[in-house]
Amino acid sequence: MPFPNRFPATSWVWRRFTSPFARRIYLAVVILAFAVTATARVRTYVLTRRIHAVLNGLQRLQIDQSTGDELLRTVPYLVRGQRDRTEGSRTVRTYSLAISNESDWLLLTRLAYALRGDWLPPLRPYTGADWLGFRYLRFRAEVILLDGKVSNIGFGIAPEWVAPRQFGEILAVESFHGFWSSYRRPIDVTSSDDESPQDRIAGGNEPRRLGPSGSKDSLQVSYAFDAPADLTSRAFQVNLSCFWGLLGCRSAGQIAPLAWQDKQAIDAAAVARLKSAEPCPDRIPAGRVRYLLDLDLDLLLLEVTNTRTERINEEGRDLDEHYSDDRVVENLRGNSQRTWNSVRCREWIPSPSDPGHMIFNPARNMLLRPGDRELMFTNLDIDSCAAVPGTPSALSVVRGAVPAPKRAEDELLPRMLL
C-alpha cells in the first residue's frame, strides 16, 4: 500500500511543510536572519576599527614627553574635559572618549525584561543576540595632561554591561609613575609584581558566561612611565575580531593575547627565581623603593643578635622552628618603633602562577646567624622576600634608588571605596 494511503495525516503535514509557499517562507527567514546577523557584525566591525585607530594613537604617545598638540594629532575622537584643574602650581587637563553600542544593548535589555516570564527566561534574548553576532562592546580611554604633557594613559574594554562600568571590563590598561596613598594603607605586592615592577599584570583567563549576571576573569595591566616602549606596546595589541566573529569573546587572553603571554612569562620567571639559589636578588628591593611611594611602608636594616630552635606543634605535626632576635641598625624608610624579637618566616607562600596554590618559602633555607644583616620590608602584604639579605650591594641599590615622581592619578583608594 502506498505511503500516503497508509499514513494520510503524516503525508498531509509533509505536503504542507514542503509546499512552494512554505519553502518561500523558509527562504525569507534565512534571508532575514542573514541580514540581521550581517548588519550586527558589520556595525560591530566598524566600531572595532575605530577602537584600533585610537589604540594605535595611544601606543605612540610617550609619558612625560608627548605634548597636548601631539596628542590631538595622534589620537582621534578625543573630547576635552569640561574644565581644567590645578594641583599646586601645575595645570591638569583631561581628554577622554567612549566607543560603544551601549544604547542598542540597553534597548535589548528593556525588551528582555519586559517580555520575561516562564516562557522566556531573561537570559534567552542575550543568548539569541550572541548567536546573531550582536554583542555588547564598550571601549573607554582617558589621557591626563600635566602642564601640557601626557602624564597618564588608560583604556578599558568591556564585553558586557555592568554597573559600575569598570567592573565589566575584561581588559584594563593604565600607566603609572609610582603608587601612593594619602590613607597610608598597605597594598598587595605579589611575587610577580616583584619580578616585573615596570609591567604589572594581574588577573586570569577563565572562560566567561554570557548575560548581565555573568562572571569573568580579566586582565589588569599597569605599566611604568619609564618602561621600555617595546614592552608597553604589547598591552595595546588587542584582537577584537571575537566581537563580530562566530564564537564571541570568551576569555581575556582571546582579546589581549600578547598581554596574556607576558603574564604567563612573568609568572614562570617568578617561580623559577623563587626556586633558584638567589630567590631575592638586589633588583627586588630596588623596584619596591622605586615605585612604592608614600605608603605605610617601613624599610629597616636589621642585625641578628640571637638565634634559637624550638619544637612546636603545627596542625598536628611536631616541627623544629627557627627564631631570631634582631636589633634595628638603621631605619631607611618610615618611622617604625617596634622591636624585633622571636622573628620567624612562614613555611608556604602563594604561587605566582596560581595564588590559590602554595609553594615552599625559599627564605626557610636561609638560616641566619648572629651578626647577619637583612633588609626588612614591613606593613605591606608581601607574598615573598619581605626580608632580603642586607648585603653591601643590596644596601647600595636601596640607597641609590630614585623614587618615581608622585602624581595625583596614581593614588590608591581605600578598599572600602573601590
> For the segment 8-18, what is each residue's pLDDT rounded down to a tens digit?
666 666 666 67
Considering 159-163, 289-293, 334-338, 378-382, the range whose residues carry the highest mean pLDDT is 289-293
pLDDT the model gives residue 126? 61
pLDDT the model gives residue 102? 81
Whether the per-residue pLDDT at 325 is higher than 90: the answer is no
Q: Classify residue 18: in a domain, yes or no.
A: no
Q: Classify residue 4: in a domain, yes or no.
A: no
Check whether residue 60 and residue 30 sit in a common domain: yes
Whether the per-residue pLDDT at 104 is higher than 60: the answer is yes
215 pLDDT band, cuts 50/70/90, is: very low
pLDDT the model gives residue 194? 93
Q: Classify residue 16: in a domain, yes or no.
A: no
pLDDT the model gives residue 112? 62
Sequence-separated (6 or more) residues with CB below 8 Å from residue 269: 195, 196
Q: Classify residue 235: in a domain, yes or no.
A: yes
Check whether residue 363 and residue 266 sit in a common domain: no
| Cα separation, 115 vs 121, whole angstroms | 9
Which grid cell sits at 294? Answer: 608614600
Mean predicted lDDT score pLDDT of the chain? 82
pLDDT the model gives residue 263? 93
238 pLDDT band, cuts 50/70/90, is: very high
Residue 68: C-alpha distances to residues 94, 147, 150, 200, 279 (Å): 10, 9, 7, 27, 43
pLDDT the model gives residue 7? 61
Least confident of 23-32, 85-94, 389-398: 23-32
**3-class DSSP state of 146:** strand
Q: Classify residue 350: in a domain, yes or no.
A: yes
What predicted TM-score, i.e. pTM, was given to this entire model?
0.83
Domain boundary residue, one of 250, 271, 292: 271
240 pLDDT band, cuts 50/70/90, is: very high
Check whether residue 264 and residue 301 sit in a common domain: no
pLDDT the model gives residue 5? 62
**Runs of H (alpha helix) within 223-282:** 229-232, 252-255, 257-274
142 pLDDT band, cuts 50/70/90, is: very high
Whether the per-residue pLDDT at 267 is higher than 60: the answer is yes
How many domains in the chain? 2
Share of the chain above pLDDT 70, in %: 78
Number of H helices, E strands in the chain: 12, 17
Whether the per-residue pLDDT at 63 is higher than 80: the answer is yes
Check whether residue 231 and residue 288 sit in a common domain: no
Check whether residue 283 and residue 202 sit in a common domain: no
Check whether residue 213 and residue 69 sit in a common domain: yes
122 pLDDT band, cuts 50/70/90, is: low
What pLDDT digit, counting tens, does each position of 289-298 carry? 999 876 667 8
Check whether residue 68 and residue 135 sit in a common domain: yes
Distance of CA 412 to the CA centre of its chain: 15
pLDDT the model gives residue 120? 47
Q: Classify residue 61: in a domain, yes or no.
A: yes
211 pLDDT band, cuts 50/70/90, is: very low
Distance of CA 369 to the CA centre of its chain: 41
φ/ψ of 309, rounded to 5, equals -120, 130
Whether the per-residue pLDDT at 33 is higher than 90: the answer is no
Check whether residue 239 and residue 350 sit in a common domain: no
What's the rounded mean pLDDT across residues 307-330?
77
DSSP 60-75: T--TTT-BHHHHHHHS
What pLDDT digit, counting tens, does each position of 168-187 carry? 789 999 999 998 877 766 67
Whether the per-residue pLDDT at 161 is higher than 50: the answer is yes
Check whether residue 305 and residue 266 sit in a common domain: no
Whether the per-residue pLDDT at 342 is higher than 90: the answer is no
What pairing do the DSSP bridges indicate for beta strands 188-189 and 348-350? unpaired
Check whether residue 58 and residue 173 sit in a common domain: yes
Distance of CA 418 to the CA centre of its chain: 15
Nearest to 46 by CA among 243, 235, 234: 243
Sequence-separated (6 or more) residues with CB below 8 Å from residue 186: 295, 296, 297, 379, 380, 381
257 pLDDT band, cuts 50/70/90, is: very high
Q: Tell which wins on pLDDT, 331 or 19.
A: 331
Check whether residue 123 and residue 237 sit in a common domain: yes
Q: Classify residue 8: in a domain, yes or no.
A: no
pLDDT the model gives residue 310? 76
Domain that holds residue 293: 279-417
φ/ψ of 227, rounded to 5, equals -70, 150
Q: What residue type is assigned to position 123 of the chain?
A: L
Domain boundary residue, one of 237, 271, 305: 271
Q: Classify residue 2: in a domain, yes or no.
A: no
Domain boundary residue, one of 271, 303, 326: 271
Cis bond upstream, residue 164 (ω within 30): yes
| Cα separation, 58 vs 258, whole angstroms | 17
What's the rounded mean pLDDT across residues 232-256?
88
Check whether residue 267 and residue 285 sit in a common domain: no
- Cβ distance 269 to 156 under 8 Å? no
